Every structure is written in structure tokens, then in C-alpha cells.
Structure 1
Amino acid sequence: MVYRLLALDIDGTLLTNSNKLDRQTKDVIQYARKKGVVVTLVSERHFHSAAKVARSLRLTHPIITHNGAFVSSSMDNPVYTSKIEHSVLLQLVEFLETYPCQIQISHERLSISNRPRQKNLIAKMTIGMNEPLFYPVTYVDTLSQYLLENYESATDVKIKLKDEKVMDDIEQAMGDYFPSLAVSRPSIHDITLVRQGTSKFNGLLFFAGQLGIPLHEIVAVGDGPEDAEMIEKAGLGVAMRNASPDVKAKADWVTRTNEMNGVAYVVREVFRKQLRVH
């Protein structure tokens, strides 16, 4: 089998737990590129942060960011977007403002949040974004007023509240009143909303289609639950050993952990016998 596209998650896959990019990993990415393989990143990170990693790897093709909502090689000319439209976003925010929750709407340029009622919520709202200082967050008194004055869409909306019962009510209401949005619950205190159909896999599928590369010629490597679909459906799906059992069950191959150069190992093994792709 000839593989023409290598799709790599960033956190927990390419990077170590201390957010470092190992020299072996950098070298092996260049090794794959010299074989004529297209290499891209498929990440939950915002475009600013993922593009920084792409530059360090000298990647030239578009990258898939915001969990598949923004596919581009530059800030201004995306090849694919899957965003919550302004009209839906405004209705959503007006609804959420009836609850005492923290709301954060994001797109490729910045994130906007209602002003925290507790000082430590600033840090809590940026947990998981890996480089919060690299991604500007604007705090406003009223998000709905901001949206009335600024015609913007969003790649995602995050909600945070300590009251589990209220969060259960909000999650239920999303399904009843906002069917165009997909709901995930990373924790009992957090809800994430995206446009229906937004996923890493769908972003990757569009990107591969633009290049004329079928699924069976894709190697996809990841570790998180949001990587499971692309791992399961790619021609060769690879899970990191540090992935959860559910993710590893979807994979054709389980490589070493991100702390043990798992990406370098699998790329060498997969591509060492493959001739250069023309």
C-alpha cells in the first residue's frame, strides 16, 4: 500500500507532555516529505498556535485546526470553514446569558468572553488551549451587545459553570432549541458547542479531497477521543500508547507514547520501504 497523506494530531501525539517537539520527530517529518508524502496537522488548537508548530516542521500545506472548523495555510484565505453563523450565535448567547455561566466564543483570530465574576476563572477558561497568552482573549461586559455591534461567526462556544444541575439543564436545552449545534461535555462543569458536522475527520476529508487523495491512502495518528473517527476511517489509523482504551480499539496500530518518540517510530516503520510518491 502506498500512503500519500500523513495527518498528525499535535498535543499528546507530536509534542511531549512538556509541549516540546523532539529532534527525532522533526527529522522524521522531513523524511516523509522527501518521500513525496503530504504532511498536515489535525488539531483542536486554534490556528495561531497550530501554525506555530507547522512552521517549526516547515510544513507548506494547509493545516486542520479548531477541531476541523478551520482549514488553511494562512489566516486570511481558508480553504474550508465550519462555523456557527452570526444569527445562531447571537440567539445562543442571548439564551445563555439568562444563566450565571462563563461563555467564551472563539474563531481563528481571537476569543471573546463575558467578564469573569471570579478572578481565577480567567485561568480556568484557558485551560486546554495550551498557549493562552499566544491567543488573545477579549473580555466584555455583555457578549450579546458585542455581537450586535460586531458581525462575527465562531468556530466554537465554551460554557463553564460549577453548578452541575444547571449545566445538565443547559445541555438538554441545546438539543431542544439549537439543533444546528453539536454538543460535547468534556467535564461536568464544561460544555463545548460547534456547528453540526464539525470534526477533525470531516476537515481532513475535505482537505484530502482537494488533493485527490482517497481515505485508504491516508495515515492518521492521534491520541484523543476527537481523533478516534479519523483513526478508525483512515487507510492506516495509528493510536499513541498514551491514548485511552477506546481510541486504541479503533486503531490498526498502536505506537509508542508521545514521551517515547511514538510518531518518529511509526513514520519510519510505515514509510521506510515506500518509494517516493510522484
Structure 2
Amino acid sequence: MVYRLLALDIDGTLLSSNNRLDRQTKDAIQYAQKKGVIVTLVSERHFHSAAKVARALRLTKPIITHSGAFVSSSMDDPVYTSKIDHSVLMQLAEFLETYPCQIQMSHERLSISNRPHQKNLIAKMTIGMNEPLFYPVTYVDSLSQYLLENYEGATDVKVKLQDTKVVDDLEHALSDYFPSIDAWRTAPDSLTLVRQGTSKFNGLLFFAGQLGIPLHEIVAVGDGIEDTEMIEKCGLGVATRNAPADVKAKADWVTRSNDMDGVAYMVREVFRKQIRVH
């Protein structure tokens, strides 16, 4: 089998546990590209953050970010977007503000969050939920008031609850009242909300379709529950050893962990016998 596209999750897959990009991994990506394989990133990260990783790997093709909601190689010229409409976002903000929670609404340019109660946070900066790098956030007293004055959509909304017992109730309420929204749990106290149909797999599917590459010619590598669909449906689905058992069960192959250069090992094993793709 000749594989023409390599799709890589970032956190827990491409990067080690200390968020470093090892030399072996960089060399392996260059090796795959010299074979003519197109390499892209498929991440829940913001575009700003994922683009830094792409530059470090010298990737030139569009990357799939914001959990599949923003596919682009630049900030200003996306090839695909999937955003929660402003009207829905307004209703969502009013609804979520009735819960004791931290809400972060993002698109490719910025994030807006309700003001946290902690007094010792760095002004205008926070560690984003599920984001190991600093990312600029504008804090406002009321998200619903902000949206009344600013006509914006969002690629994703992250919610962090103060009480983990409320998460189940909130999930059910979102399903009942917001059918145009998909929600999944990213931690026992956290949810990510996106426009219905938005996923890392669907973002990858669109990108591959633009290139004329069928699913069976894609290698997808990941470690999280949100990676399961692309691991299961692509030609070769690879999970890292540090992935949960449910994810590894869906994979065609389990490579080494992200702290044992799992991506580098997988790339060498899969592509060393493959002739150069033209």
C-alpha cells in the first residue's frame, strides 16, 4: 500500500510529555516528506499554537486546528471553517452563564473568557484549557453582553465547571436545548463545544478531498478519544502506547509512546519500504 498523506495529532502524540519536539521526530517528518508524503497536523489547538509546531516541522500545507473547525496554512486564507453562528453563540453564552463555570469562546484570532475569580492571574494571559502553551485571552465581565456589541462566531467553546457533579446535567441540557451543537468531555470537569458535525476527522476528510487523496491512502496517528474516528476510518490508524485502551482498540497498529519517539518509530517503519510518491 502506498500512503500519500500523514495526519498527526500534536499533544500526547507528536510532542513528548514535557511538550518538546524531539530531533528524532523532526528528522522522521523530513524523511516522510522526502518520500513525497504530504504531512499535516490535526489538533484541538488554536491555529496560532499549532502553526508554531508546523513551522518547526517545516510543513507548508494547511493544518487542521480548533478540533477540525479551521483548516488553513495562514490566518487570513482558510480553506475550510466550521463556526458556531453568532445567534447560537449568544443563546449559548446566556445559558452557560447560569452555571458556575469558566467559559472560553475562541476563533482563529482570539479568545474571549468570562473574568475568573482568581486574583493572581497574569493580565490578558492564561493557560488555555487543554493547551499547554500560553495563549492570549481577553477577559470580560459578561460574555453575552460582549456578544451583543461584537458580531462574532466561534470555532469552539471550552467550559470548565467548578463542580464535577454538574457536568452530566449540563451535557444533557446542551443536547436538549442546542441541537446544532456537539459537546464532548475533555476532562472530568471540562467540556468542548463545537458546531454540529465538526470533528478532527471531518476536517481531515475535507483537506484530503481537496488533494484528491482517498481515505485508504491516509495514515492517521493520535492518542485521544477525539482521534478515534480518524484512527478507525483512515487507511492506517495508529495509536501511541500512552493512548487510552479504547483508542488503542480501534487502531490498526500501536506504536511506542510519545515519550519514546513513537511518531518517529512509526514513520520509519511504515515509509522506509515505500517508493517516493509523485
The TM-score range, normalised by the shorter chain, is over 0.9
Deviations 1:120-154 (A, max 9, x none): 6889872421112xx21000111111111111111
1:129 maps to 131
Partner of 2:228: 228
Shift of 1:100: 3.0
CA shift in 2, pair 1:98/1:8, >3 Å? same
Distance 1:92 1:2 in 2: 45
| 1:221–1:145 Cα change, 3 Å | same
Q: Which moved more, 1:180-189 or 1:57-66?
A: 180-189
Report the counterpart of residue 39 of structure 2 in structure 1: 39
Matched, 1:249 2:234: no
Which position in structure 1 is the counterpart of 2:66?
Answer: 66
Aligned-partner SS, 1:20: coil
Partner of 2:118: 118
Residue 17 (str. 1) matches residue 17 (str. 2): yes
The code of the aligned residue for 1:231 comes to I
Q: CA deviation at 1:35?
A: 0.8
Other-structure match for 2:210? 210
1:114 positional shift: 0.9
| Preserved CA contact (<8 Å) 2:6 2:40 | yes
Alpha-carbon deviation of 1:50?
0.5
- Identify unmatched segments of 5+ residues in structure 2: none
Give the match for residue 48 of structure 2: 48
| 2-structure distance, mates of 1:55, 1:127 | 23
- Distance across 1 between alignment mates of 2:176 and 2:27: 50
Match of 1:78 in 2: 78
Contact 2:4–2:218 under 8 Å retained in 1: yes
Q: 1:52 and 1:187 mapped to 2: Cα distance? A: 25
Alignment partner, residue 239 of structure 2: 239
Partner Cα separation in structure 2 for residue 46 and residue 157 of structure 1: 12
Superimposed CA distance per residue, residues 10-45 of structure 1 (whole angstroms, 9 cap, x where no aligned partner): 111111111111111111111111111100001111
Determine helix, strand or coil for the equivalent of 1:153: coil
SS at match of 1:84: coil
Give the AA of the match of 2:178. F
Question: Which amino acid in the other structure matches residue 39 of structure 2?
Answer: V
Aligned pairs for 1:177-196 (under 5 A) are 177-196=177-196
Q: Conserved in 1, the CA contact under 8 Å of 2:100 and 2:162?
A: no
Q: Secondary structure at the match of 1:108?
A: coil
After superposition, where does 1:150-189 map in structure 2 within 5 Å? Answer: 150-189=150-189
The CA distance in 2 between the partners of 1:209 and 1:45, in whole Å, is 22
Give the secondary structure class of the aligned counterpart of 1:2: coil
C-alpha distance in 2 between matches for 1:30 and 1:55: 12
- The equivalent residue for 2:146 is 146
Which consecutive unaligned segments of at least 5 residues does structure 1 have? none
Change (3 A) 1:165 1:275: closer
Determine the C-alpha separation between the residues in 2 that align with 1:124 and 1:76. Answer: 24
| Distance change (3 Å), C-alpha of 1:24 and 1:165 | closer
Amino acid at match of 2:148: L
Does the Cα contact within 8 Å between 1:125 and 1:160 map onto a contact in 2? no
| Paired AA for residue 12 in structure 2 | G
TM-score normalised by length of structure 1 = 0.95
Q: How many pairs were matched up?
A: 276
Normalised TM-score (structure 2): 0.95
CA RMSD for the aligned pairs? Answer: 1.6
8 A Cα contact 2:127 2:133, kept in partner = no
| Structure 1 residue 170: Cα displacement | 2.4
Aligned to 1:87: 87
CA contact (8 A) 1:72 1:79 kept: yes
The verdict on how the C-alpha distance between 1:265 and 1:140 changes in structure 2, with shifts beyond 3 A counting, is same
Q: Do the aligned partners of residues 274 and 207 (structure 1) sit closer, same or farther apart at CA in structure 2, a change above 3 Å counting? A: same
More deviation, 253-262/184-193: 184-193
